[in-house]
Structure 1
Amino acid sequence: MAGSGKIIAVAVSILLVVGVVIGAVVAVNHLDNGSSNNGGEVKTTNKAVTAVCQGADDEKLCHDVLAPVNTSNPKDYITQVVKFSTDSVLKALNMSDRLMVENVANGTDGGIKMALDDCKDLLQSAIHELEASGVFVDSQSLPEVFTNSAELKNWLGAVIAYQQSCLDGFETDGEKQIQGQLQSESLDSVMKLTALALDVVSGISKVLSEFGLNLTNRPVRRLLEIDSDGFPTWFGFHERKLVNEAKQGSIVPNVVVAKDGSGQYKTILDAINAYPKKHKGRWVIYVKAGIYDEYITVDKKKPNIYMYGDGPSKTIITGRKNFAEGVKTMRTATFTTVAEGFLCKGIGFENTAGPSGHQAVALRVMGDRSAFFDCAFRGYQDTLYAHAHRQFYSNCEISGTIDFIFGYASTFVQNSKIIVRKPKENQQNIIVADGTDQKNMPSGVVLHNCQIIADPSLAAENGKIRTFLARPWKAYSRAVFIENTIGGFIHKDGYIPWQPASPNTEHSYFAEFGNIGAGSDASGRIKWAKGLISKNEASKFTLDRFLQASSWLPATGFAFDSSFTKN
């Protein structure tokens, strides 16, 4: 207890020092009528706000939002911008309801109704993320906010993911008018204000350094603390028992699914829906070998499910919904999980629509701290939709053609096979399409120690079909390839622009380190790509730093490599 007292004393003293120093330099030069004008000229409010706003993409907006905050505590800057972002999401949610009444009631086609329904669900999820951010900031000291800023960025990055996904849903020419209206009147504000929130969180360190304060090495409490056995401190007996059973291969499930009737349920959906209300700990589902032709969603009220099967070639969940037949991309997923802490082992996920189905998702993952081990994801275009938050895939097989690993998440794929298939005639292959849309989003796709290989159907084409590692879906698209074995079928350019009208090449980040194989020569990569990077720079994208892995992956029982494996 004596040690804990010292930590509290240090945290309090740091907070007091920050308050005194910043309070002493506040120059209360409020902006006229609470905002800046004069053609976009920025007026300084105080030294701390200036330090925060210097790193913001929209410096004027930053000053406009933070100017009214006459405070000595930088936490209040985060609270302010999160409040503004929440208000903008509520406005967008109300607008989506209004557009639903105006358009669907008049007999508008079902595509608009699907898109607006999806927007409503996504915006409600965005409010949940912002509420979590607000509670976190209110309940933590400044040193704790600083130390655990990755958690804040994780939530705020998800809000932008949902805002962008809402717009993505309006895919046809007939839906573009509704998309434009929703974007210009509400969703643009959601993006700008949430991006500003990310900028402010990232700028707190600048405030501290402005006043000569460094909290990096201070002994403050982390949000997800780990005990001496490598478990989160909130783990109880049952959770620890489950992890040990997983490591030993002797898990006792809560329920069993079997098509032949030998389990409690014949369908996976029934087993998931049997999740008890207010359940604590893991809900373990064993799915026996069989082909399960069903569409499944794990909603956010069912966290910490652990689902395992008899192997990805024996336990298979299959579907064939696709965009070509009028289904929105988000809704084509055979299996969707929105809940936090979803774990899966030994199961195959398929979308069998084929290349003619266009967008056809096998798995969509939105819940934070989701992990898949020894699984397979089989499809063509858009196979794996890594939608939001932190996701880990290990010892898996991912196959497809166009953008078949895509989304807005912080996605880490390790020790896996990436299998590129033959697309439709006149198509080309792209493995990764990342949706990072703002510079301080924590998202991106990292492939580490994977084998990037051609399916026999593609190999038989003898290089006639161009195949690329990635293309920039959004402005700050990020894909990093570390210590992989890359087949010679990969085009020497490595990467291509998104499309002529929106190349998204100015701020994209496509980098490589320590790769081997005939396709790993980065000397001929396209000029706007980052290309080869140093080990020091690549270390920013190792598992522990990119996903904060040590705070949650040990509790899964899955094997992982937290850093480099070859270099």
Structure 2
Amino acid sequence: MLSSRRINNPKEQAALLDCVQLMDLSMDRVWDSILALNEKTTISHKDAHSWLSSVLTNHVTCLDGLEGSAKDLMETDLSDLILRARTSLAMLVAISPSKDEIVEPLNGDFPSWVTSKDRKLLETLPNDVKANVVVAKDGSGKFKTVKEAVASAPNNGKTRYVIYVKKGTYKENVEIGKSKKNVMLVGDGMGSTVITGSLNVVDGSTTFKSATVAAVGDGFIAQDIWFQNTAGPQKHQAVALRVGADQSVINRCRIDAYQDTLYTHSNRQFYRDSFITGTVDFIFGNAAVVFQNCKLVARKPMTGQNNMVTAQGRTDPNQNTGTSIQKCNIIASSDLEPVKGSVRTYLGRPWKEYSRTVVMQSTIGNHVDPSGWSIWSGDFALKTLYYGEYMNNGPGAGTSKRVKWAGYHVITNAAEAKKFTVAELIQGGVWLKSTGVTFTEGL
């Protein structure tokens, strides 16, 4: 599909390289989905639903990143792929075993990639983790960089591969590729082990490739680490952490940047006891993702900018994706607090047509605008999005002055809220329980 005609613009070349990677991931996910559907179980059907949802997300990410002659060359073919992905999703939903049967059984076997050792890893203190390899800047470990340690992990590993990153600041960009499965990065604490970078869109990176750490290999876990992108607000999109790994867990981590801090790109993800800061769209993407017991911290943006906690990117009503913020604390940073009266902060805005975000059982600070949610552009997506709030508290939680869009809901029915829990949105009853991470399965 990629034309042999030369593209000389460096930004267009970078976007094309993103597309190559995304298409490669999509081919794998289509094949995985075919195998899963042949198993004909409820769990395998939900796996296929997640993976085919990610295929569509990959295609859209590719198209979104293209411009100029590269877009001219590829737009027709990509639009065809997007249509095919939509059709596949619609067919899958049509043959769903039961549209009401969402909760996974908890007494079934764990996925094959889980070991008994995995269950305790997420409950241990940093110094108690038994690592496969150690990274240390002072040379006391096997490696001095995280990138080298990741490269040492076996390809398509079936068991957990633990990389212990000792305290220190590691200035590098790291990718946990698709073949590096079941990798766990564990540090000495979110204030001690720092992985930092500064790639950004203004200086020529794509948003996709700007991530300081990007995790694609399934079964990824990060714990007790600080992920940074220090590009600053004037550099616009600059990602600290991008995750597209299915069944990934981010536990006790700090994720810092300004615009586009955390790219929850695709597949099923869970964040617990983490600290995430930013300004514009600082949690964005199209994963099925649940945040629990996290602090979501709005910072002081550039003059004239509004803060957006989320920008969820669901493009099709058949995608099983969405962002769920449960039992979190949505607060203002120390630099925003004195000027919060002159800076508008919103819970989110609809990046794509079927954007889906729910905030529930959380504490919302008074820096959040009474309307709660912002438009993207005009009336785009206001009838097709799904934004919900359920049993929140705090000075910013009142719903009387919230937006009146067709797609906005004050949820009063527990059954409706349950659709956005760990058990139902990310089917965590099966795979999260096996990791040992603390989580609330339901409401």
What interval of TM-score do these two structures reach, taking the shorter chain for normalisation?
over 0.9
Deviation at 1:176, TM superposition (A): 3.8
Tell me which of 278, 281, 288 is aligned to 2:159.
Answer: 281
Tell me which of 63, 71, 85 is aligned to 1:179.
Answer: 71
Residue 148 of structure 1 contacts residue 223 of structure 1 at CA under 8 Å; is this kept in 2?
A: no
Q: Which has the higher strand share?
A: 2
Q: Does 1:527 align with 2:426?
A: no
Q: Equivalents in 2 of 1:156, 1:279: separation in Å?
A: 23
Tell me which of 501, 511, 515 is aligned to 2:392.
Answer: 515
Identity %: 36
Q: Give 1:233-248 correspondences, 5 Å limit.
A: 234=112, 239-244=115-120, 246-248=122-124
Deviation at 1:233, TM superposition (A): 6.0
Q: Secondary structure of the equivalent of 2:117?
A: helix
Tell me which of 385, 403, 406 is aligned to 2:263.
Answer: 385
Q: Equivalents in 2 of 1:368, 1:234: separation in Å?
A: 14
Residue equivalent to 2:5: 102
Q: Give 1:53-72 correspondences, 5 Å limit.
A: none
Q: Equivalents in 1 of 2:387, 2:251: separation in Å?
A: 26
Q: Give 1:158-197 correspondences, 5 Å limit.
A: 158-170=54-66, 175-183=67-75, 185-197=76-88
Q: Does 1:200 align with 2:91?
A: yes
Q: Equivalents in 2 of 1:276, 1:127: separation in Å?
A: 22
Q: Give 1:45-84 correspondences, 5 Å limit.
A: none
TM-score for the superposition, normalised by structure 2: 0.94
Q: Equivalents in 1 of 2:267, 2:383: separation in Å?
A: 25
Residue 258 of structure 1 contacts residue 289 of structure 1 at CA under 8 Å; is this kept in 2?
A: yes
The 1:440/1:215 distance shift into structure 2, 3 A limit, reads closer
Residue equivalent to 2:108: 226
The 1:116/1:312 distance shift into structure 2, 3 A limit, reads same
Deviation at 1:147, TM superposition (A): 5.7
**Structure 2: which 5+ residue stretches go unaligned?**
none
**Which 4+ residue blocks in structure 1 deviate beyond 4 angstroms?**
214-217, 222-225
Residue equivalent to 2:438: 559
Q: Does 1:271 align with 2:149?
A: yes
Residue equivalent to 1:157: 53
CA deviation string 1:342-385 (max 9, x = no partner): 01110000001111010000001111001010000000000000
CA deviation string 1:141-177 (max 9, x = no partner): 4xx2x5643211101100111011101212xxxx245
The 1:428/1:441 distance shift into structure 2, 3 A limit, reads same
The 1:140/1:361 distance shift into structure 2, 3 A limit, reads same
Residue equivalent to 1:436: 314
Q: What residue identity is the alignment partner of 2:439?
A: F
The 1:285/1:160 distance shift into structure 2, 3 A limit, reads same
CA deviation string 1:244-284 (max 9, x = no partner): 35435432111111111111111111111111346431111
Q: Which has the higher helix share?
A: 1
Residue 363 of structure 1 contacts residue 377 of structure 1 at CA under 8 Å; is this kept in 2?
A: yes
Q: What residue identity is the alignment partner of 2:82?
A: M
Q: Equivalents in 2 of 1:513, 1:203: separation in Å?
A: 29
Residue 113 of structure 2 contacts residue 182 of structure 2 at CA under 8 Å; is this kept in 1?
A: no
Tell me which of 276, 279, 288 is aligned to 1:398.
Answer: 276
Residue equivalent to 1:472: 350
Tell me which of 19, 31, 51 is aligned to 1:131.
Answer: 31
Q: What residue identity is the alignment partner of 1:530?
A: Y
Q: Equivalents in 2 of 1:233, 1:117: separation in Å?
A: 32
Q: Give 1:480-519 correspondences, 5 Å limit.
A: 480-500=358-378, 503-519=380-396
**Structure 1: which 5+ residue stretches go unaligned?**
1-93
CA deviation string 1:218-253 (max 9, x = no partner): xxxx899735xxxx16367xx213433543543211
Q: What residue identity is the alignment partner of 2:376?
A: W
Residue equivalent to 2:429: 550
RMSD: 2.1
Residue equivalent to 1:306: 184
Task: Please tell me whether Structure 1 or Structure 2 has the larger radius of gyration of its CA atoms.
Answer: 1
Residue 312 of structure 1 contacts residue 375 of structure 1 at CA under 8 Å; is this kept in 2?
A: yes
Tell me which of 29, 34, 39 is aligned to 1:140.
Answer: 39
